[in-house]
Each structure stands twice: as C-alpha cells, then as structure tokens.
A and B are shown apart, each in its own frame.
Chain A
Amino acid sequence: MPFLKTTAPLLSLSVLATLLSGASLVSADDLKMTTIASGLDNPCGIAIQPDTGHLFVTCNKSVLRIDPKAPGKTHEEIVGFPTDVYGKGPKYNISGLGASFLDSNTLVVGGGGLPDGKEIVRFYEVGSTPGQPKKADDMKFKSGPIPPGKDSVRGEGNFYGVVPIGTTLFISCNGDDTKGWVSTIALQGGKPGKLTPTIATKVVTGVDAPTPVAKSPEGELAVGQLGEITVPHDSLYTTYDPASHKLTKKVKIGLHDITGLAFSKSGKIYALDFAWLKPEDGGLFTIKVDGDSAKSTQLQKILHPTAMAFAADGSLYITALGQPADSGSGMKGSVIKIEGLD
C-alpha cells in the first residue's frame, strides 16, 4: 500500500524523535562534580569575570575571587560589607547577594546586608589579578536605595539576582511582598541611573519572591519566582520582554524554592532548588518547557544551593550554603564545579 511504504520510515523517525524529546540527553552519571572551594561563609551569589574566568563569590562580609585553575585558594577581593540575618531558624548572616559583570572590570553586587529601604546596588572596578582587598564602601558607583513610599511599603532590599540585558540592569528585589519587584537601572555611558521598581512580578504571576534572573537565549529576561518557603512545589519559571516588561511565559516547574537560573550554550535551562522545607529534594535541575507546562529533572543533589553561572568552557559553577550552624556564619559553604552539561 503506497501510503504505508512512504510513511513507515517517517513514522519510525517520528517515533524516535518522540522518544528522545522527553528524555534528557544528560544524566547524573555523565556529570563530573568537583568542589572548588569550601569553608566559605554563606556564599549567595557568583559572577564570572569575562577575560580571566575568575569566579567572584558574594559571601557574608566579603566578595571572594577564586581562580578555577587554583582550586582551594580564595582571595578576599572586597571586604567590610554590612551584614544582615536571613531566616528565622535556621538563620544565615548575609551581605552581598546577586552578582554580575558588566564588562571585564566592572562587577555589580546586589546588596543583602542592609535593611529594606536602605539597600543599594554596588558597582566595583576590579582588575584581572588579585590585589589589595578593596573596602565595600569604596564603590565606583552605587544605585538606590528604594525607600519606603508608594511603590514599596517598607522599601526594597535583598537583591538576590542581577543581570544586564542591553543597556538595562535587572535586579530582583525582596522588600515589598505585595509587589515582588524586579527593578531596573539604566546604564548610560557605563554609568548607572536610578534604581527603579519596574515589574511587579507578584501582581503579574500570583507567586512570591522573584529570585534568580538571567538572560534567555532569546534575549528575554528570565525570572525564577521562588514562592513561599513554607509551601512545596510552588516555584515558577517566567520570562519577560526586556523592553516592554510584559510577561511572555509563566510555567509551574515543580521545584520548591528556585534560587538559581542559567542557560547553557545549547540553550538548555538549568535551575537550582534550595528546597527549604525538604533539603533532600534540593539541587541542580534541568527544566524543559513545553508550551504552558514544564518538566524538571534533578541532575544532582546539592544541599542549599544559592546561585550559579556558566563559564565560557561550558562548566557550571554553583554556590551552596551547606548545612547551617545554629545561626550566623555557617562557614560550611562551598563552590562546586560541574562538567559534562550540554
């Protein structure tokens, strides 16, 4: 029968494609995991310097520089950050949170150590090699704060995520929980403008706490809504048009508390789940979005992961708090390198 003769091989291919499409091409067995640094004091953010590949990790009171070629060694790049306490038990001392490079020598750090309404975004000039530690207040520029007012009941703080898209810096904020602001800073001639509440993500999505932000392969702003730490499986993956700030995608991903979001060179979506209520569920996941739904697959269990970034060679670097002390400075944090992702 002519129909079957022509369609049989096509059907075979389509069946094969169907089988493959839902399967992850990477499994946990394919990955190589290495601890690059340990004994860190609550690492919450990570940025990779474009030219050198050095890791800049925001910790309690400081920003550390780590050369991945010299694992185990850390250098205090910036010191003396103010400290705040996050959580009600367990509790974590935190300072800088989200981090990103604008260019090889300009590091942006979202603050977490000052009260809501006083928090700022800090811009630092950093060199290609380690030098004398810089003081936290020795900033090239700063932007903010967003004080209490009509946009934000008690002002903004806890700037968990920082990402530049074009000439705009997007910062996730966790001050006013009725809005869930992603704020913006316009960059002009290398200088930052005013920190401005821009996207009310909670109003738009119905879920709390914008946390990780990233630039998607399509050039959109990707935001992970963490949700309530006391509610399981409520995190969202969302995207916005960076120019109009309109929501373009909102899907439930089944994670408890998304804290990291990154895209590999091949365009795959990777996410971290802090899993506050059930730490054994936490770790590194892939997210496959299909229309209005998504499937998350755990690749690696990691205890309390906080942020991640892909290096130019495709390696993924992840910060993790580890097991906290009863309160304060855990000194159990680490930076983990994962190879083998696509």
Chain B
Amino acid sequence: MRTMKARMRSKTVAGMAVVAGAFLLVLSVANGQGTSGQSQAAPGAFQLEAPKGLDPVPVPDDNVMTHPKVELGKRLFFDPRLSLDNSTSCASCHDPKTGWSDGQPVSDGVKGKTGTRNAPTVMNAAYNYFQFWDGRSPSLEDQAMHPILNPVEMAMPSMDEVVAKLKKVPGYQEEFGKVFPDGITATNLQKAIAAFERTILSGNAPYDHFEAGDKSALSAAALRGKDLFFGKANCAACHSGPSFTDGGFHNTGVGMDRDNPDVGRETVTHLLGDRGSFKTPTLRDIARTAPYMHDGSLATLEDVINLYDKGGIINDQLDEEMFPLNLTAEEKKDLITFLKEGLASDNYPYVEVPTLPQ
C-alpha cells in the first residue's frame, strides 16, 4: 500500500487515480463495507470462513453476519417456544445429532401431526438458490417462517403471535435489542435464524484434501468410487460443484408410481416439465442424513444406488440423466465408500443445544 508521503509526490493523472482509489478503499473499509456487504470492522463482525472445498458463503447485503446475531439465531433455532404448544423447534426436525435432519422419513410436528416430505439438512443450505424440496422459498430468511406457520409443523397462527410470545421473554427483549435497533419483529427473527444457519457448513473432507494434492487422503476403494461418481455412475450430472448439488430440480421417478404423487417443483412453476422434480440435495456428510429422497422412502445409500442403477422409476417426466447404469456389486460398494468416507467433513458442524433466554 502506498504511503502518505508517496501519495503526495505523485503528479500524474494515473497516479492520482490510484491515490483516489486507494483513499476510497480505506474509507470503505473504515465504514465496514466489505465484500458481500459483510462488515469487516464493525463491532461483533462475524468472519464467516468457508471450509476447504467450498466457495465463499453468499451473505445478503441486508443481513450481515455478527456474533450477537448468530448467537440469537442459534437460540431461536433451538427454541420450542416458537411452536404453538411449545413442543417443537427448528432443531426438532433439523437436529445436529442426525445430520441436521431428523433421521425419519417424514417429520413429526405439533400434536403428533406428520408432514409429507423428508426434512432437508441445514448443512450448506447457505449455498442453495432455493429452499425446500420444491424450491418455493428464495432465501434462508424467507424459509425460516414457513415451518413456524405450517399447521403440521410448528403451527403458529401468525408471525404476529410469534413476536408477541417472544416479547414476553425478557431475555429475548434484551438480545434482540442488542442486535436490531427495532427489537423483536418477524423480519428480525427470520434474519437471526438465517444468520445462524449460514454457519452450518460441511466441507474439509477427504475428497477436498485429495483434490488439494494429498493423494493419500482417499482409500483405494473411495478413489475407485470417486472415479465412478464422476464417470460411469453419472452422479456428477446433477451432484456437481463444491456442495455436490447443481441447485436444480430433477425427476428421478421417486414417488411417481403412487396414486396422486407429490409433483414437487410443478406446484411452484406450473410447468409440466417440472412434474415430479425435486431439488438436488447436497451430498456433503450424506452418511449422516438417512433416510433419503424427498419422501425419505429410501432407508440406506445402498437403496439409493440401486434406484439409480436401475434408471430410476419410469414416468413421463423422468429426467434424461436417469438411465440404467449397469454397475457391478463391487462398483456399488466403492461408490458408497466414496460417499461415506470421501464426503465426511473433518469438522462436522455439530452445535450443542444452547441455554435459552428466560
């Protein structure tokens, strides 16, 4: 960086332009305007580091990360008081102990009601273009309110009533006040939960070490599995990119052989081509998030591989990427070894249940 003395000596227009640019940069950092709207100098700024293998985490300009906000979001995430009968929190279905899902085919909500879809993991949800299996939500902030208001999940009648509940808790009055000038509002609640969810990241796995040059990071079986993943098994057609998802929607045929099948993305786009299509999930730490598929109908990774090996379940909108793979038993085993070992994070994002405000 040029010194002040060096700046004063510069006489060329180009030199002055550099000076002006540098001066503006100093100003912008001092004002806390880093990349992606992230505050770099503001008090409590949260430096969100992506694990090895992942891209920088996208953070919206209107919801910068700070430590107090993330902590508040964590408490809200684990707080069952956000549900009608105080029984169900976000963490009830997105439990760190079970891969930030819940280990069940479909989830239980308040008063024993059940949903129709498997709880997606929160891991790497920060990178999703869309949230939910059908992509109906455009952001983590927006997504946060849906389960709270869903009658078979947390069943609150309205966000106003959620806010009213939280306002009765002095601890939340205080914590919201520290983070948001306008205190407890629905928008601020959603922002806090989203900020916390952005920190739940899975990367830094043996696959990433291997790609970074450590050729001993993957076992021989996992390495064969990796080659199948990116080759004959055709997984990378959809499970691509740092988070092993293209973020798009595909019809594998799961559920399409039932009467009145869940048509997934079509309910949002109203395009026939999206009938039976669901969002490609991340495969990071996939061994932790059984059962699998949008309806949790496949209990094990072996079941999943067998489905893909046979080419999915035939229906009119079956994705062109689904076709019989003709994998041998050994190849299936190696593929599963890659999924289980190769994509298991060295630093699984486990979070302890926090103390809740009173």
List residues of A whose CB falls within 8 A of some B CB. 3, 7, 10-11, 14, 87-91, 150, 153-154, 176-178, 202-203, 206, 208, 228-232, 234, 277
Contact = CB atoms under 8 A, between A and B. Distances in A.
Interface stretch (B42-50, B76-84, B265-273, B290-298): B265-273
Interface residues of B, number: 35
Nearest to A13: B13
Contact of A231 (B129, B234, B242, B275): B129
B231 A178 contact: yes
B53 to A, nearest CB: 12
Interface of B: 11, 13, 16-17, 129, 135, 230-232, 234-238, 240-242, 246-251, 265, 269, 271-275, 277, 316-317, 321, 323
A300 to B, nearest CB: 24
B273 A88 contact: yes
Contacts of A10: 13
A88 B272 contact: yes
A90 B273 CA distance: 6
B272 to A, nearest CB: 3
A206 B240 contact: yes
B241 A206 contact: yes
Contacts, number: 72
A269 to B, nearest CB: 25
B269 A153 contact: no
A14 B248 contact: no
Contacts of B234: 153-154, 176-178
Contacts of A203: 230
A202 B240 contact: yes
Contacts of B13: 7, 10-11, 14
Contacts of A206: 240-242
Contacts of B17: 14
A150 B228 CA distance: 11
A88 B237 contact: no
B277 A230 contact: yes
Contacts of A154: 234, 323
Given A10-B13, A88-B317, A228-B248, A153 B231 contact: yes
A88 B242 CA distance: 28
Contacts of A153: 231-232, 234
8 contacts: A10-B13, A88-B251, A88-B317, A90-B273, A153-B232, A176-B234, A228-B247, A231-B246
Nearest to A228: B248
B248 to A, nearest CB: 4
Contacts of B317: 88-89
A14 B21 CA distance: 14
A88 B316 contact: yes
A7 B19 CA distance: 14
A207 B248 CA distance: 11
A255 to B, nearest CB: 15
Given A89-B317, A153-B231, A177-B237, A228 B246 contact: yes
A231 B247 CA distance: 7
B15 to A, nearest CB: 10
Contacts of A230: 135, 248-250, 265, 274, 277
A178 B323 CA distance: 14
B313 to A, nearest CB: 15
